[in-house]
Amino acid sequence: MDASILDKAQSWLNSNIDEDSKQDIQRMIDASDDSELVDSFYKDLEFGTGGLRGIMGTGSNRMNKYTIGKATQGLSNYLLKRFPNEEIKVAIAHDSRNNSQYFAETTAAVFSANGIKVYFFEDLRPTPELSFAIRKLNCKSGVVLTASHNPKEYNGYKAYWEDGAQVTPPHDKNIIEEVNKIESFDEVKFDKRSGLIETIGVDIDEDYLEMISSLSLAPRAIKNQKDLKIVFSPIHGTGITLVPKILKKIGFENVHVVQEQAEPDGNFPTVVYPNPEEKEAMSLALKKAQEIDADIIMATDPDSDRVGIGIKDHHGNFVLLNGNQTGALLLWHVLQQWKEGNKLDGNQFTVATIVTSDLLPTISDAYNTPCYRTLTGFKYIASIIRDLEGKKKFVVGGEESYGYLIGDDVRDKDAIASCALIAEMAAYAKDNGKSLSDMLIEMYEKFGFYKERLISITKKGKEGADQIAQMMVGLRQNAPDKVGGEKVIKKIDYQSLKETDLISGTSKKIDFPKSNVLQFLTEKSTKISVRPSGTEPKIKFYFSVNTPLEDKSKYDEISGQLDEKIDRIIADLNLN
């Protein structure tokens, strides 16, 4: 074991922390197996694509009162330096996870102890509402306590800036510098000033829901299809607070909540992972949909920034759509409604991440609306919206990991608004004699049949992190020559910011923020993207293949061929 790990554990043991934490550290030191001690102390939690996120427990690499307190003190110090002689206001929300409320109260205490005004949500609320509140209340920053869709052992701390987006450079690095300057927990001000903490709730809810209502593009279709059968599951999270309300507010009267998953519960008792990307997490919603012959299924993750949907396919079977399919359908619906309303004048734009399907920019191009590409993480989408504010109008954007945003009053992915617009999209299709499955196939026929797949390989702890790093080094040094029978012709390295033509060997610089991401493109426009997750101990491989769909009747045949191609690529990369 690295001596620095034991030194860090001893420094915690000798600090002014509570006795229970000290006993826990001593237990880890005394254990015959040092793996828990190593994983708890081999590094400090850092701001990744989603802020702080980690397993709850004692240690510098764990989510606990002290790591949260230190992060909040560092953020407070930075805010006080950044906005001298100004009133500084922040907003705080939390989800249904175990300890989320306690961690939120700890965060509020530290902010207030530093003389910062705190708006504190009275109970659990969705992450996008926190983003909305920051802008509505003219806050300089905000924090939501959540680990999004991670397993129950995790919690997290998402820090936001005054534009309602998660912190981006240079603020994230500057905050970390302030955090790292704190040498002792004695420097963290934990003694709250109650007079600086104001409870918020219903008034912000009403303003937020009114804003979402204003995004509706097809009210006539909703009125005609008000009995659309909708099954909704919050998967034990915050979605239960506002999704049923927004669906009712815009006119839907036949919403069926999955009762087994309606109660907020940080143990997530009915699922292995509270993630709508996982079929297992959607199983109860699928069962309910089959019972009532639903038109659409929707499920949100614990903090309600992601939504997964299920529809009936053209054979009458319920299937789950992936994030690329939902994102493309939503983007197409919104742009088409804008076009029919004569609202597209060439001054609009959409945004998608570099690992999201190329179908989204293809659709945008068809509407003469540029689609900007950005790194994974919604804070980068928000950054583009901020940069173009006052110059161009943001319409819709998203990423393959089930996160979408319509309009710019929120600056993070918003499952509450997405549920409203997805339900509207289903109503619009039905009002025109179609199903969402018909709409999906029509989209592929019109713009090209794009098919994607994601493989995530989990590597836990310090050893796992080292293995993931070695996998990325290996791919950088030895690009695959051929995959799925197609020659690889281009490598894009977002860490070195270099695009290499693998045929000629020439390279050119790319204008992008640095990130540990690799992409390989083949002669037939197949794309493979590889990146370590910023929030989980995983390395992710994204596969995208495409071909024309010239006849709807060939859908099943072409779909099978694309699946086989992805299977061959995965086999060629030894990822089976």
Give backbone dihedrals phi and psi of 528, rounded to 5 degrees, phi first: -120, 125
Region 164-170: mean pLDDT is 91
Residue 176, pLDDT above cutoff 90: no
Name residue 477's amino acid: Q
DSSP codes, 221-268: HHHHTTT--EEEE-TTSTHHHHHHHHHHHHT---EEE-GGGTS--TT-
**Mean pLDDT computed over every residue of the chain:** 95
Six-digit token pair at 4? 């620095």
Q: How many CB atoms lie within 10 A of CB 318?
A: 19
> Which pLDDT does position 46 carry in this prediction?
77
Tell which residue, 75, 71, 49, has the closest CA to residue 139: 75
> Which pLDDT does position 118 carry in this prediction?
98
CA 451-452-457 angle, to 5 degrees, is 160
pLDDT range class, residue 536, cuts 50, 70, 90: confident
Six-digit token pair at 545? 């293949």
> Which pLDDT does position 168 carry in this prediction?
87
Contacts of 214 (CB under 8 A, 6+ apart): none
> Which pLDDT does position 50 carry in this prediction?
58
DSSP 304: S
Instruction: Please state, in angstroms and rounded to a whole number, the distance separating the CA atoms of residues 293 and 303.
Output: 28
pLDDT range class, residue 48, cuts 50, 70, 90: low
Residue 146, pLDDT above cutoff 90: yes
Domains of the chain (ranges plus CATH)? Answer: 1-42 (no CATH), 45-202 (3.40.120.10), 226-447 (3.40.120.10), 450-572 (3.30.310)
Express each pLDDT in 417-441 by its tens digit: 999 999 999 999 999 999 999 999 9
> Which pLDDT does position 507 carry in this prediction?
96
Residue 49, pLDDT above cutoff 60: no
Cα radius of gyration (the chain)? 24
Instruction: Please state, in angstroms and rounded to a whole number, the distance separating the CA atoms of residues 252 and 209.
Output: 14
Tell which residue, 302, 411, 265, has the closest CA to residue 351: 411
Annotated catalytic residue within 96, 148, 418, 515: 148
> Which pLDDT does position 47 carry in this prediction?
67
> Which pLDDT does position 219 carry in this prediction?
98
Cα 99 off chain centre by: 21
CA 108-112-115 angle, to 5 degrees, is 155
pLDDT range class, residue 44, cuts 50, 70, 90: confident
Angle between helices 415-431 and 127-136 (to 10 degrees): 110
Six-digit token pair at 250? 């815009």
148: annotated active-site residue? yes
Which of the residue ranges 200-214, 354-368, 525-539 would you say has the lowest mean pLDDT? 525-539
Q: Are 96 and 102 in contact (CB under 8 A)?
A: no
Residue 113, pLDDT above cutoff 70: yes
Cα 387 off chain centre by: 21
Q: Are 309 and 277 in contact (CB under 8 A)?
A: no
Tell which residue, 103, 101, 354, 74, has the closest CA to residue 188: 74
Tell which residue, 399, 400, 417, has the closest CA to residue 408: 417
Instruction: Please state, in angstroms and rounded to a whole number, the distance separating the CA atoms of residues 454 and 540.
Output: 7
Q: Is 121 helix (H, G, I), strand (E, B) or coil?
A: strand
Express each pLDDT in 196-237 by its tens digit: 999 999 999 999 999 999 999 999 999 999 999 999 999 999
Contacts of 556 (CB under 8 A, 6+ apart): none
pLDDT range class, residue 247, cuts 50, 70, 90: very high
- Per-residue exposure over 431-468, b if at least 16 CB sit within 10 Å of its own CB, e if not: beeebbbbbbbebbbebbbbbbbbbeeebebbebbeeb
- Please give the model's pTM, rounded to 2 decimal places: 0.95
Residue 522 bridge partners (DSSP): 488
Give backbone dihedrals phi and psi of 160, rounded to 5 degrees, phi first: -120, 155
Express each pLDDT in 261-304 by its tens digit: 999 999 999 999 999 999 999 999 999 999 999 999 999 999 99
Instruction: Please state, in angstroms and rounded to a whole number, the distance separating the CA atoms of residues 338 and 332.
Output: 10
Tell which residue, 108, 106, 92, has the closest CA to residue 64: 106
Residue 534, pLDDT above cutoff 80: no
574: left (phi over 0), alpha (psi -120 to 50) or beta: left
Six-digit token pair at 348? 């609009």
Q: Are 344 and 367 in contact (CB under 8 A)?
A: yes
DSSP 390: T
Name residue 541's amino acid: F
